[in-house]
């Protein structure tokens, strides 16, 4: 099962940048998530392959940093579909919207739990919020 929010990614980001900046990044990612999915939807509707690739790459990179694993995997799969511009808009957008909603829920739980990186724990001890794809 692919986790919606993988705390190990947060741990890694917090190790690199500090927990405050990592937390701010997650908050920004969450705030921009709907807009990112809408950008992908618009590019698909306009048959703008260059914009579509740019939008999917943007989602992919930011999802990887945020630990939004399902979104990252969906972006990877969308990029692998050749030509990318022939990707059917409806199914991809609905999937991304559902995964974005699941991420928002998992992030709320993550924040509510007061999660902060714990130095010295192995990745296997990190909290994960798996929600089936």
Return the pLDDT at 114. 66
Token pair listed for 117: 């990186």
Buried b (16+ CB within 10 A) or exposed e, 11-45: bbbbeeeeeeebbebbeebbeebeebbebbbebbe
Average pLDDT for 27-36: 96
Return the pLDDT at 87. 82
* Sequence spans of domains, the chain: 3-130
Q: What is the pTM of this model?
A: 0.82
> What are 39-68's pLDDT values in tens digits?
999 999 999 999 999 999 999 999 999 999
Using CB atoms within 10 A of its CB, is residue 103 exposed (0-12), middle (13-18) or buried (19+)? buried
User: Hey, how many other C-beta atoms are within 10 angstroms of the C-beta on 95?
Assistant: 17
Instruction: Tell me if residue 82 falls in helix, strand or coil.
Output: coil
Any idea which fold 3-130 has?
1.20.120
Average pLDDT for 113-120: 51
Average pLDDT for 89-102: 95
Average pLDDT for 67-93: 91
Return the pLDDT at 115. 59
| Residues belonging to the chain | 133
Radius of gyration of the chain (CA): 15
Average pLDDT for 99-113: 89
């Amino acid at each position: 099962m692919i986790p919606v929010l993988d705390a190990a990614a947060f741990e890694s980001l917090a190790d690199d940048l500090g927990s405050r900046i990592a937390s701010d990044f997650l908050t920004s990612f969450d705030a921009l998530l709907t807009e990112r999915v809408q950008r992908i939807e618009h590019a698909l509707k306009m048959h703008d392959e260059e914009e579509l690739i740019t939008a999917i790459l943007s989602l992919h990179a930011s999802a990887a940093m945020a630990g939004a694993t399902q979104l990252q995997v969906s972006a990877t799969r969308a990029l692998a579909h050749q030509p990318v511009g022939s990707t059917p808009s409806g199914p991809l957008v609905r999937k991304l919207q559902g995964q974005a909603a699941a991420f928002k829920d998992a992030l709320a739980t993550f924040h509510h739990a007061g999660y902060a990186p714990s130095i010295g724990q192995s990745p296997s001890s990190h909290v994960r919020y798996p929600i089936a794809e």
